[in-house]
A and B are shown apart, each in its own frame.
Chain A
Amino acid sequence: QSVLTQPPSASGTPGQRVTISCSGSSSNIGSNLVYWYQQLPGTAPKLLIYRNNQRPSGVPDRFSGSKSGTSASLAISGLRSEDEAAYYCASWDDSLRGVGFGGGTKLTVL
C-alpha cells in the first residue's frame, strides 16, 4: 500500500495533453512539497518536477506540475512516444518522517 495514491495507468495519443493525479493527506502533500519522477523501462528514476512545479534543467516545458490542498497533478502536453514511462509522485511525510511515494502511473502513448 503506497503512501500516495496514483492511477495505475494512463494513456494518450501523440500530441495530446495527459494529466496524472496524486492524492495524499495533510501529513504529506498537504504540508510538504511534491516531486515527480519519470522512470523509463530498465532505468533509474529521473527527477521531472521538484518543489511542486519547478522543472530541472533539461526537462522540456511540456511537463508541468501543480498542487492544491492534499492533491497534486502532473501534466504532459504535446505527448510524444518517448514519454511512455512510469511516473511517480513523492512527498515528505511528517508522520512517517520519511518520503512517501505514489504507486506509479504507467503512461502508454497509443
Chain B
Amino acid sequence: EVQLVESGGGLVQPGGSLRLSCAASDFTFSDYAMQWVRQAPGKGLEHISTISSNGVGTYYADSVKGRFTISRDNSKNTLYLQMGSLRADDMAVYYCATLGVATGLGDFDYWGRGTLVTVSS
C-alpha cells in the first residue's frame, strides 16, 4: 500500500526556516507529480505547491511564492519543502499528497498523516 510519511515539523520563530520531508514507499515515486497541501488550525485545505515527476516543473500558491521551495530526490523517494521567512499564518499541518485532482490520475490519491508547523516566538 502506498505510504507517505512527513517529518520535519516543529516550533519555529517568525522569520525562521524549516525543511519538511516526505518519504514515499510502495509506488514508483519517480513516475508521479507530488504536492504539498496545508491546513491551518480549524481551517480548510490549501494547495500550496506541486512538483513534476522529474522535478523540473513547479507550482506555488501566491501565499508562499518566493518563500517556499519544493524539491524532490527520486533516488531517495523523498519530497521536500524548504520553508523560509515563516509567518504566523504559515502555522498549519502540512500534508504531502499525490492529488488525483492535480495529476488527473483519478483515484491515485494518497495523503500522508501530516506534520505540524508552529510559528511562534
> Do these two chains really belong together in a complex?
yes
A-side interface residues toward B, CB under 8 Å? Answer: 2, 33, 35, 37, 43-47, 50-51, 54, 56-57, 88, 90-92, 96-104
* 7 shortest interchain CB distances as A-B pairs: A99-B47, A44-B111, A47-B109, A56-B107, A35-B101, A101-B45, A104-B44
Are A91 and B95 in contact, with the CB atoms below 8 A? no
A47 to B10, CA, bound (A): 27
CB-contact partner of A98 in B50, B107, B111, under 8 A = B50
Chain B interface SS verdict (over half): mixed
Chain A residues with CB under 8 Å of B44's CB are 2, 88, 101-104
Are A97 and B59 in contact, with the CB atoms below 8 A? yes
A92 to B112, CA, bound (A): 21
Chain B residues with CB under 8 Å of A90's CB are 45, 99, 101
Are B45 and A47 in contact, with the CB atoms below 8 A? no
Chain A residues with CB under 8 Å of B50's CB are 98
Closest to B109 in A: A47
What are 25 A-B pairs with beta-carbon distances under 8 A?
A35-B100, A35-B109, A37-B45, A44-B95, A45-B111, A46-B111, A47-B100, A50-B106, A50-B109, A57-B107, A88-B44, A88-B45, A90-B45, A92-B102, A96-B61, A98-B50, A98-B59, A99-B37, A99-B99, A99-B102, A100-B47, A101-B45, A101-B47, A103-B44, A104-B45
